Amino acid sequence: MLDQKLIRENPTSVEENLSLRGKVHNISHIHELTVKKKEIDIQVSSLQFESKKLSKLIGQEISKSPNNNSPELYNLKRKGNEYRTKISDLEEQQRTLDKQINSEISNLPNFLSKDAPIGKDENNNVQVKTWGTPLKKQNLKSHWEIGENLNLFESIKSTKISKSRFITLIGNGARLERALINFMLDMHTKNGYLELMPPALVNSESLTGSGQLPKFSNESFKCSNDDLWLSPTAEVPITAFHRNEIIDFKQLPIKYVAYSPCFRREAGSYGRDTKGLIRLHQFNKVELYWFCDPSKSSEAHQKITSDAESILKKLNLPYRLVDICTGDLGFSSSRTFDLEVWLPSSQCYREISSCSNCLDFQARRSSVRTKINKKNTYLHTLNGSGLAIGRTMAAILENGQQSDGSVKIPDALAPYFGSNSLKLS
């Protein structure tokens, strides 16, 4: 959520910033509404002041002479009645304006960082660095072929259970998934993150707080009988965990790591990544999340990204770091670094983590603040995958494949998996 005051006082700068996302955002209408609301706020305030004075006066008169029926008293009451009519009329206008302003502002995306590369779409994203040597050989198998050969997961049967884009992990596949979750959680908790295991169902307010609603209701699954949705990412419940709180400044930064299943409708992605573990309606993810001092979010962004990177390094998976351009940035983010892992079968890098600095966008929507110099100030929030489990498994299968059909398990993961090699069992 953008700052209403800023829209009221400096609408052009807001428009300029948002237009870098590649779409024209005309905010003149919201601007008008905020100005109008401000005027009414001031009127209401002063009318309430007068009316309150009058009520006190009437109270005093009545307590002096309890059976007072004088015309003076009657007139005072009539005057009070006039105040009330005026005030409730203005309050009605306030409510209407509030609703309009809120619904329009909550559809506006976050400000862009001035450091984000300017560009139209994903083709303008900037590769910052690469790590490791991408595996480039002939006759490499895809992870779904490996999965089928080693009997690690099953897609076809899963459509019976649910529908397409769901998967059932089997035997060593399930074991590997579990090992990855534990490995990542252990790494991050040792590194100063507090582990959370939040609810998988979240209410509308939570989704609004982190920016998925109202605009992207199509992208999450909704429970029809309740005001509950299947959480698309742990970012949602973690943001909501501190909704309407004022956090002690000394506690900052608060760093959480959470494993959660994630549910996404993937509307509009028909035909893309239909095989394997890349794009599913349900997947597991270990998420990193910071609540931090607003003056330090830029450093925090570097840190959360390198914390996510550390997992890829430990697993010895080649990857690159990409600075997402303005036209490709997510709704809530002001700047995002994607980590993309090398997938040998398709000879390309695929997103495995997205690390975003949301500034005070989510904190304002969720009202998460801290006191700085006695003033309540919205915190900054950052989130990053550390990492997406299914895609990590895909990367391990493809990068670790051996000529005999087995898969080498990265050394760091072997103790969790219970073996350094994955064979048909």
Partner RNA sequence: GGAGAGGUGGCUGAGUGGUUGAAAGCGGCUCCCUGCUAAGGAGUUACAGGAGGUAACUUUUGUCGAGGGUUCGAAUCCCUCCCUCUCCGCCA
Q: Which residues contribute to the site for RNA (CB under 7 A)?
A: 5, 41-42, 44-46, 48-49, 51-52, 54-56, 58-60, 62-63, 77, 80-81, 83-84, 88, 92, 95, 246, 371, 374, 376
Return the number of the residue (32 or 248) whose C-beta is nearest RNA. 248
What is the b/e burial string over 78-99, where b = at least 16 CB atoms within 10 angstroms of the residue's CB? Answer: eebeebeeebeebeeebeebee
Return the number of the residue (139 or 225) whose C-beta is nearest RNA. 225
Q: Computed from CA positions of residues 342, 345, 346, 351, in that sequence, does the dihedral angle turn out positive or negative? A: negative
Please state the closest distance from residue 402 (CB atom) to RNA, in A. 41
Please state the closest distance from residue 107 (CB atom) to RNA, in A. 22
Are 237 and 231 within 8 A, CB to CB? yes
Are 35 and 8 within 8 A, CB to CB? yes
Return the number of the residue (80 or 134) whose C-beta is nearest RNA. 80
Report the candidate in 317, 286, 303, 304 with the shortest Cα–Cα distance to residue 184. Answer: 286
- Can you list the pairs that 264-268 forms with residues at least 24 positions away whose Cβ atoms lie under 8 Å? 264/219, 264/220, 264/232, 265/218, 265/219, 265/220, 265/221, 266/165, 266/219, 267/218, 267/219
Report the candidate in 240, 237, 282 with the shortest Cα–Cα distance to residue 258. Answer: 237
Return the number of the residue (46 or 139) whose C-beta is nearest RNA. 46
Please state the closest distance from residue 259 (CB atom) to RNA, in A. 17
Please state the closest distance from residue 8 (CB atom) to RNA, in A. 9
Report the candidate in 252, 236, 242, 243 with the shortest Cα–Cα distance to residue 300. Answer: 252
Please state the closest distance from residue 186 (CB atom) to RNA, in A. 24
Please state the closest distance from residue 240 (CB atom) to RNA, in A. 14
Return the number of the residue (59 or 418) whose C-beta is nearest RNA. 59
Please state the closest distance from residue 257 (CB atom) to RNA, in A. 23
CA-CA distance, 421 to 400, in Å (whole number)?
9
Return the number of the residue (93 or 419) whose C-beta is nearest RNA. 93
Q: CB under 8 Å to 370, separation ≥6 — which residues?
A: 246, 247, 248, 249, 252, 293, 376, 377, 379
The C-alpha angle 106, 108, 114, rounded to 5 degrees, equals 130
Please state the closest distance from residue 375 (CB atom) to RNA, in A. 7
Q: Computed from CA positions of residues 354, 358, 363, 365, in that sequence, does the dihedral angle turn out positive or negative? A: negative
Please state the closest distance from residue 142 (CB atom) to RNA, in A. 38
Are 68 and 61 within 8 A, CB to CB? yes
Return the number of the residue (1 or 396) whose C-beta is nearest RNA. 1
Segment (H or E) for 219: none
Return the number of the residue (370 or 392) whose C-beta is nearest RNA. 370
Return the number of the residue (49 or 249) whose C-beta is nearest RNA. 49
- Can you list the pairs that 34-38 forms with residues at least 24 positions away whose Cβ atoms lie under 8 Å? 34/4, 34/7, 34/8, 34/101, 35/8, 36/97, 37/94, 37/97, 37/98, 37/101, 38/8
Return the number of the residue (67 or 403) whose C-beta is nearest RNA. 67
Please state the closest distance from residue 193 (CB atom) to RNA, in A. 25
